[in-house]
Structures are given as C-alpha cells and as structure tokens.
Amino acid sequence: QSVLTQPPSPSGTPGQRVTISCSGRSSNIGSNTVNWYQQLPGTAPKLLIYNNNQRPSGVPDRFSGSKSGTSASLAISGLQSEDEADYYCAAWDDSLNGQVFGTGTKVTVL
C-alpha cells in the first residue's frame, strides 16, 4: 500500500508548467530525502530527481524538485509530448524501516 499521496492525473498542453505534489508524514518525507521517478509506458522506472532537488546527469533542467516539511513537489516546465508518463515520489520511512512510494501520477500532454 502506498503511504505517500499524489494527485491522480494532471494534464497540460505543450509548453505549460505542471506541478505534482507528494504528501507524506514526519516519519518519511519529514525525516528523509525525496526521490522522483519517471516511468514511460512499458519501461522500467527512471530516476528523475534525488535528494529532494538534484538531477542525475542527462535529466533536462525542465524537471525540478522541492521539499517543505512533510510534502514534496515535482515541477515540469515547458511540457513536452515525451513527458507523458507516470511519475512516482519515494522516500525512506523510519517507522516502517522501508522505502515507500507515492500512489503515482499520470501526466497527459494534450
């Protein structure tokens, strides 16, 4: 069961800015860093943001992450058709002694 809550399915037109929220609690987001993953249809997840706001090499700077308290956000600016995918947040949970994922958010590019 997902412990981190994400909005269902935002959509946007090319060029727009889309923001995805991730709500947790003190034992996970409130105490540990947040990572974001992008999963294109039929493929394995890809690390998009780590340590709240760091981008791995090769990830466009259109993607940015932030964290405040027990919530985190992923922003996609200049939305492109290839950004149509499922996005998941994740964080370690000190109470569960395990990683927890968000419920997932499907971004649709109109």
Partner 1 sequence: EAQMLQSGGGLVQPGGSLRLSCAASGFTFINYAMTWVRQAPGKGLEWVSVISGSGGTTYYAASVKGRFTISRDNSKNTLYLQMNSLRVEDTALYYCAKGLLNYVGGGCDYWGQGALVTVSS
Q: Which residues bind partner 1 (CB under 8 A)?
A: 2, 32-33, 35, 37, 39, 44-47, 50-51, 56, 86, 88, 90, 92, 96-104
Q: Which is nearer to partner 1, 15 or 51 (CB)?
A: 51
Compute the least distance from the CB of residue 88 to partner 1, in Å: 5
8 A C-beta contact, residue 77 and residue 62: yes
What is the rounded distance in angstroms from the CA atom of residue 39 to the CA atom of residue 88?
8
What single-letter DSSP state applies at residue 34? E
Burial class (CB in 10 A: 0-12, 13-18, 19+), 62: middle
Q: Which is nearer to partner 1, 64 or 103 (CB)?
A: 103
Compute the least distance from the CB of residue 41 to partner 1, in Å: 12
Compute the least distance from the CB of residue 53 to partner 1, in Å: 12
8 A C-beta contact, residue 49 and residue 36: yes
Q: Which is nearer to partner 1, 18 or 90 (CB)?
A: 90
